[in-house]
Structure 1
């Protein structure tokens, strides 16, 4: 199931790179969209939780 996470303070390519670096460590299947300030992941609620934790670890706020 595809889940969408909105990241309020993602504003540039450097932000995307930092988030991608953290998400790469999770082994999740994800897609980052800078224009919509969102991260789409494939998975269940556990995967969603892991992704939110990784984004927070990168220093960004999940909406």
Structure 2
């Protein structure tokens, strides 16, 4: 919890992004990569890492 609070203060944010990736909504160009789900999520994380304090993975999307 201390680590989370530290990141919340650093980013001045309580925002948590859910990585609930629906394979049917991934842009076509990402299918050129070996793992389009990984590539999609990596790009979301790279674009938001300075704005959020946490990411939540919904395991049901990955079963």
TM over 0.5: no
State the TM-score, normalizing by the size of structure 1.
Answer: 0.30
State the TM-score, normalizing by the size of structure 2.
Answer: 0.30
More strand by share: 1
More helix by share: 2
